[in-house]
Structure 1
Amino acid sequence: MEVWSATNGWGLKVERCHPYTHPNTCDTLPPFITQGLTLPPEEAHPHTPPTQGEGITLSVINQRKPALIFHRVFPLGLYWAHWADLEWHLERVAPGRVVVMTVSVFGTIGLRHAAQRLTQLGSVFALYLMPSARWTWVFIKGGRTISETVILQGIAQHKAHLILPLSHMPMPWNSNKNQRVEEERWQYCEAHGAMGGLCDEWSPDPLPLPSAPPVGQQTALAGVGVVVTAGNRHQYLYHTLTTLLATPGAQQHNVLVILGDAPPSTTQLLRLLDLNFTKVAVQGQDNAKLFRYYRSVFQLAVNTFPDAPAVIFLDEDVEVSPDFFSFMSQTLWLLHADPTIYCINAFSNTGFSNRTFNPSRVFRGSVQVMWGYAVTPQFIHEALIKWPKDEHNTNIIIYDFWLYSNVRRGRECVFPEVGRSSHYGMGTNSVPLMVEVIFLNRPVVQESGVPLVGVSRLQLPTWRHDLSNNLTLATPLLGNPCSADFIPKHNPEQLYVFYYRLDAIEQGLPDASQFFALQNCVGGWALSDQGQHEGVSILAFSIYTTLYLVGVPFSSYSHLKPRDLPLWDVNTIPEEEFEVVQLNELNKHKFIPVIANRNMTSSYLMSYLSAV
Structure 2
Amino acid sequence: MAVSMTGTVGLRQAANYLARLGSLFVTHLPPSALWTWVFVKGGRTISETAILQDNATHHAHVVLPLSCMPGPDISDSRRWQYCAAHGVMGGLCDEVSPDALPPPTPPPVTYQTALARVPVVVTAGNRHQYLYHSLTTLLRAPGAEHNNVEVVLGDATPSTTQLLQLMNVTFTTLTLRGQGNNRLFWYYRDVFRLVANKFPDAPAVIFLDEDIEVSPDFFSFMSQTLWLLDADPTLYCVNGHSAMGLQGLAFDSTRVFRGAVQVEWGYGVTLDFVREALALWEDVSTHNTAFYDFWLYMNVRKGRECVFPEITRTLHFGMGVNTDPYRKEKGPMSMVLVREAPIALRNVARLRLTTWRHDLSRNISAAIPLRGNPCRATFLPDTPTSPHYVFYYKLDMLRDGTGRPDPYQYFQPTECLGMWSLSEQGHHQGIAIVRFAESATLYLVGVPYSHYSHLRPSTVPLWDADALTDQEFEQMSNYTQARDAGTSIIANVNVTSRILMKELSTV
Write the distance in 2 (CA, Å) between the matches of 1:583 and 1:152. 28
Q: 2:329 is matched with which residue? A: 436
Do 1:482 and 1:587's aligned partners in 2 also have CA atoms closer than 8 Å?
no
1:404 aligns with 2:304: no
Q: 1:23 is matched with which residue? A: none
Q: 1:349 is matched with which residue? A: 243
Write the distance in 2 (CA, Å) between the matches of 1:131 and 1:579. 27
3-state DSSP of counterpart to 1:344: strand
Q: 1:518 is matched with which residue? A: 413
3-state DSSP of counterpart to 1:541: strand
Q: 69, 72, 75: which one pairs with 2:5?
A: 75
Q: Percent identity?
A: 53
Q: 1:167 is matched with which residue? A: 68
Q: 1:600 is matched with which residue? A: 498
Letter in 2 for 1:166: S
Post-superposition shift, 1:581?
Answer: 2.5
* Mapping 1:558-573, distance limit 5 Å: 558-573=453-468
1:424-467 Cα distance to aligned partner (Å, 9 max, x none):
01011112222122211211111001111110000001111111
Larger Rg: 1
Post-superposition shift, 1:543?
Answer: 1.4
Measured at CA, do residues 363 and 231 of structure 1 come closer, stay the same or move farther in structure 2, by a change above 3 Å? same
Q: 1:137 is matched with which residue? A: 37
Indicate the RMSD between aligned Cα atoms, in angstroms.
Answer: 2.6
Measured at CA, do residues 136 and 594 of structure 1 come closer, stay the same or move farther in structure 2, by a change above 3 Å? closer
Write the distance in 1 (CA, Å) between the matches of 2:360 and 2:31. 52
Q: 130, 137, 143: which one pairs with 1:236?
A: 130
Give the alignment's TM-score, normalised by structure 2. 0.92
Measured at CA, do residues 549 and 129 of structure 1 come closer, stay the same or move farther in structure 2, by a change above 3 Å? closer
Post-superposition shift, 1:513?
Answer: 1.5
Post-superposition shift, 1:332?
Answer: 0.5
Q: 1:369 is matched with which residue? A: 263
Q: 1:93 is matched with which residue? A: none
Post-superposition shift, 1:606?
Answer: 6.8
Letter in 2 for 1:489: D
Q: 422, 425, 428: which one pairs with 1:533?
A: 428
Structure 2, unpaired ranges of 5+: none
Do 1:360 and 1:451's aligned partners in 2 also have CA atoms closer than 8 Å?
yes
3-state DSSP of counterpart to 1:533: coil
Question: Relative contact order: is structure 1 or structure 2 higher (C-alpha 8 Å, sep ≥ 6)?
Answer: 2
Structure 1, unpaired ranges of 5+: 1-56, 59-72, 77-81, 88-111, 174-178
Q: 1:496 is matched with which residue? A: 389
1:380 aligns with 2:274: yes
Do 1:292 and 1:389's aligned partners in 2 also have CA atoms closer than 8 Å?
no
Measured at CA, do residues 290 and 130 of structure 1 come closer, stay the same or move farther in structure 2, by a change above 3 Å? closer
Measured at CA, do residues 159 and 393 of structure 1 come closer, stay the same or move farther in structure 2, by a change above 3 Å? closer
Write the distance in 2 (CA, Å) between the matches of 1:132 and 1:576. 34
1:151-208 Cα distance to aligned partner (Å, 9 max, x none):
89998986544242132424424xxxxx5xx121111112111111111111111122
Measured at CA, do residues 197 and 477 of structure 1 come closer, stay the same or move farther in structure 2, by a change above 3 Å? same
1:119 aligns with 2:19: yes
Post-superposition shift, 1:586?
Answer: 11
Write the distance in 2 (CA, Å) between the matches of 1:344 and 1:473. 29
Write the distance in 2 (CA, Å) between the matches of 1:357 and 1:514. 27
Do 1:324 and 1:346's aligned partners in 2 also have CA atoms closer than 8 Å?
yes
Post-superposition shift, 1:134?
Answer: 7.5
Structure with higher helix content? 2
3-state DSSP of counterpart to 1:256: strand
Count of residues in correspondence between the two structures = 501
1:262 aligns with 2:262: no
Q: 352, 366, 376: which one pairs with 1:473?
A: 366
3-state DSSP of counterpart to 2:467: coil
Measured at CA, do residues 153 and 277 of structure 1 come closer, stay the same or move farther in structure 2, by a change above 3 Å? closer
Measured at CA, do residues 438 and 268 of structure 1 come closer, stay the same or move farther in structure 2, by a change above 3 Å? same
3-state DSSP of counterpart to 2:130: helix
Do 1:131 and 1:598's aligned partners in 2 also have CA atoms closer than 8 Å?
no
Do 2:92 and 2:98's aligned partners in 1 also have CA atoms closer than 8 Å?
yes
Q: 1:191 is matched with which residue? A: 85
Give the alignment's TM-score, normalised by structure 1. 0.77
1:548-568 Cα distance to aligned partner (Å, 9 max, x none):
000100111111111222111
Letter in 1 for 2:498: M
Write the distance in 1 (CA, Å) between the matches of 2:190 and 2:254. 35
3-state DSSP of counterpart to 1:138: strand
3-state DSSP of counterpart to 1:426: coil
Q: 2:192 is matched with which residue? A: 298
